[in-house]
Amino acid sequence: MKLTVLAATGGIGRHLLDQALARGHDVTAVVRNPAKLGEQPWARVVQADLATAGPAELRAAVEGADAVLSGLGAVGRAGIGVAEHGTRAVIGAMRQTGVRRLVVVSAAPVGTVPSPDRPHPPRHDPGEGPVLRYLLTPLVKRVLRAHYADLVRMEDAVRASDLDWTVVRPPRLTDKALTRDYRTAHGRNVRGGVSVSRADVAHCMLRSLDDPGTIRQVLGIAD
């Protein structure tokens, strides 16, 4: 399969790149700084700053791809806005080139965050237990308010597109090893799920490419 990976030097993006190459996929890695990839003889590399790039700059990166996988997300306050901007840009490039399949990573609390397209979201996610619902989720949403606002606008752009999309929403991310032993839930967060490894999120995103039941679906994921 021919894949394009956005933010391929990021926490999830690097796992997407490594796992996709290990499976024998033909991969194009889109990165702001190619030097961060190190020696990478097996992937085509396209340099682009996804905080500013437009569809025309990404067209060559996605043309001919079977799917685009995005690990976009802000690292620190300086990066806030990259998820929405970069995703809108790649959606534009995909429309221009006829590429249909898009898988993006978001975050578990986003389903209850208001957005321009969803000004009145549910107050609680059905997958949340009492501790998450009344303690952990409200706390995290206050601390990361701007990051989640960026992600929810990204999700708005994905939903408004005519693409075959999947949104994957993990809770707290860890650097634990790949287990393949994670839980998923359609349209809600995973009951009792508080963490998941970046490696397992990448595995789930790649696995969704072979599952038509994930098209135009939000997937919760957790250990």
What percent of the chain has pLDDT above 90?
Answer: 72
Predicted confidence (pLDDT) at residue 187 exceeds the cutoff of 80: yes
> 2-222 domain in CATH 3.40.50.720?
yes
Q: What is the pLDDT of residue 142?
A: 55
Q: What are phi and psi of 212, to 5 degrees?
A: -60, -20
Q: What is the pLDDT of residue 79?
A: 74
Answer whether 156's CB lies under 8 Å from 116's CB: yes
**Torsion angle in degrees (nearest 10) through CA of 206, 211, 217, 222:** -50
Q: What is the pLDDT of residue 6?
A: 97
User: By C-alpha distance, which of 26, 24, 30, 23 is closest to 3?
Assistant: 26
Q: What whole-number distance in Å separates Cα of residue 30 and Cα of residue 5?
A: 6
Q: What are phi and psi of 20, to 5 degrees?
A: -65, -45
Answer whether 222's CB lies under 8 Å from 196's CB: yes
Query: SS3 string of 45-88?
Result: EEECCCCCCCHHHHHHHHCCCCEEEECCCCCCHHHCCHHHHHHH
List, for residues 140-155, the tens digit of each pLDDT value: 555 456 788 899 999 9
Q: What whole-number distance in Å separates Cα of residue 177 and Cα of residue 220?
A: 19
Which residue blocks in the chain are alpha helix, DSSP H?
11-22, 55-62, 82-97, 130-131, 137-143, 145-160, 198-208
Q: What is the pLDDT of residue 137?
A: 58
Answer whether 50's CB lies under 8 Å from 72's CB: yes
Q: What is the pLDDT of residue 114?
A: 84
Domain range list for the chain: 2-222
Look over the chain and give the mean of its residue pLDDT values, rounded to a whole number: 90
Answer whether 164's CB lies under 8 Å from 173's CB: no
pLDDT band of residue 59 (cuts 50, 70, 90) is very high
**What are the tokens at 83?**
């998820």
